[in-house]
Structure formats: structure tokens, C-alpha cells
């Protein structure tokens, strides 16, 4: 049975989608951008600041669904500029120090609200 996840401490969906959907022990998180859930605005700062906020948002949604970073099996990182890859990767590594999930990374032309990064996440129990 499909379950919609709504984490009150994470940014609300800004369109016709859910923060996350769980089905058959798999959690699919929509792409998270660096929006501060308290203000509803994009955080100011470089790729490390923005990536840190993205991971705080992901952590909040994972927790609301009863998952953690150790349950993550796949990440998709969308970057506005691949020159930010190394700095993003340094922040990313802090959240996955061992048994890292599979990952894809892409440069895209533009991200919502002018964000530098967006990360999609899949976790399995």
C-alpha cells in the first residue's frame, strides 16, 4: 500500500508532488533543494552551504518516515554547475562515510529557485 510522507519540519512541496512516498519497504524522496523550512526561502551561500541544507531536509524526511541515511540505496545529484562537484562531494561524504549508496550526478541548465543543487533519494528497509 502506498503511503504519502509529510514531514512538517521539512520544506513543503511547492507543486503537485509529495515530499516522499513509501511503498513495499521502499521510500522515494522527491528532489530536495536547499530551502530553509522555517522561512520557505532558498538558503544563501555557496555549494557547501546549500548542500548542507539539502541534507538536513533529506534527514528530516527520512526520519519522519522511520528511515535513516544507512537505509539509502540510491542518490541522484543535480548540479547547476559541475565545477561545484568536488565541494558538494565533500559534504555528501559526511552523510555516507561507509557503505555508500549508488549515485548519479548530472549538470542541469537550471534548478528551482536558482538553487545550486537538488538531490533525489531512495531508501529501502
30-87: pLDDT as tens digits: 999 999 999 999 999 999 999 999 999 999 999 999 999 999 999 999 999 999 999 9
C-alpha dihedral sign at 119, 88, 57, 35 = negative
Please determine, for residue 17, whether its predicted confidence score (pLDDT) is greater than 90: yes
The superfamily (CATH) of domain 3-124 is RutC-like (3.30.1330.40)
Are 121 and 74 within 8 A, CB to CB?
yes
pLDDT of residue 101: 98
Alpha carbons 21 and 10: distance in angstroms, whole number: 15
pLDDT of residue 103: 98
Largest CA distance in the chain: 41
Domain boundaries, the chain: 3-124
Please determine, for residue 14, whether its predicted confidence score (pLDDT) is greater than 80: no
Amino acid at each position: 500500500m502506498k503511503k504519502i510522507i509529510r514531514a512538517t519540519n521539512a520544506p513543503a512541496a511547492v507543486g503537485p508532488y509529495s515530499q516522499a512516498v513509501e511503498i513495499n519497504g521502499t521510500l522515494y524522496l522527491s528532489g530536495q533543494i536547499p530551502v530553509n523550512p522555517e522561512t520557505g526561502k532558498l538558503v544563501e551561500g555557496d555549494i557547501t552551504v546549500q548542500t548542507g541544507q539539502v541534507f538536513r531536509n533529506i534527514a528530516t524526511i527520512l526520519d519522519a518516515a522511520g528511515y535513516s541515511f544507512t537505509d539509502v540505496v540510491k542518490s541522484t545529484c543535480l548540479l547547476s554547475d559541475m565545477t561545484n562537484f568536488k565541494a558538494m562531494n565533500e559534504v555528501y561524504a559526511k552523510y555516507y562515510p561507509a557503505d555508500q549508496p549508488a549515485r548519479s550526478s548530472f549538470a542541469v541548465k537550471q534548478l528551482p529557485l536558482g538553487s545550486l543543487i537538488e538531490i533525489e533519494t531512495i531508501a529501502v528497509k
